[in-house]
Amino acid sequence: MSHVVLVIASIVVLLPLLFVVFLSFKDIPGILGTPLSWPDVFHVENYPDAWNEGNIGQFLVNTIVVACVTVAAILAFSSLAAFVIARYRFKGNQLLYLFFVSGLALPIQIIALPIFILIKNLHLLNTLTSLVIVFASGGISYSVFILVNFMRTIPFELQEAAVMDGAGPLRIYWHIVLPLIRPALGIVAIFQFLSAWKEFFLPLLLVQDPSSMTVPVGILSFVGEHSTEWQLLLAGLVIISLPTLIGFLLVAKQFRRNLVGGGVKA
């Protein structure tokens, strides 16, 4: 029974994606007039046309740079914050933890205007730096929540033994804690990378310069005020989906291992 449910769920998820790929090889009359019919001619040229006319290469580079730098910043700051919160007892410890995780309950739309004003006053509008700052700030709450709960499962005896051997906080963090939380770091990195990759609202708010756009916003160049180049839009959607799909296939085994490791620790 469970296999039947999985097959049905897979069909529900994959069918729309395969339909987009199918339509991306049609021309506009075929897409709008007979979307379900088999195309007489497969318009392979839709893909190079979408790549060249939509400046997709630049959008992909921008998105990869923003996502990678964001993930690096989040892992660095959130792991240090989680280490202090989870491994040391001090007055205000729980309050500090609540301060970080409170960001999970704050919809981005509520603080969109203050974010825009802040970025504008910093003269960072239309820059990739603005996206990295906002993405990293928004992702730290989730990351601290995951890492704190993971670090709390590490026996304190390990830390006490390291202290007796003369290890300081940074050495404990680098040589003991980080190696033990690699599964959690992997999960955080994957989710934060995908979150930065697919984010639409903030890039639309902060970036209007085509040279600094990311793929979710840049792909809208095919949508005009009076007409839409559907064949190029669909081909572009397939192209921008390939990097994340290929990346996930490459790390799928490690991702499953991290999930299992995280479940065992929890």
Which portions of the chain are predicted below pLDDT 50? 263-266
Looking up tokens 């990759």 gives: 197
Cα–Cα distance for residue pair 108/129, rounded to 1 Å: 18
208 backbone dihedrals φ, ψ, rounded to 5°: -115, -15
Report domain extents, the chain: 1-43, 58-265
Best CA proximity match to 140, nearest among 177, 103, 113: 103
Q: Which tokens sit at 24? A: 């991306």
Angstrom CA distances, 239 to 44, 70, 84, 198, 230, stand at 13, 22, 42, 14, 14
**What sign does the dihedral 16-19-25-30 (CA atoms) show?**
negative
pLDDT score recorded for residue 258: 60
pLDDT score recorded for residue 261: 56
Classify domain 58-265 at the CATH class level.
mainly alpha
Q: Which tokens sit at 167? A: 């290890």
Best CA proximity match to 22, nearest among 30, 13, 10, 33: 30
pLDDT score recorded for residue 225: 58
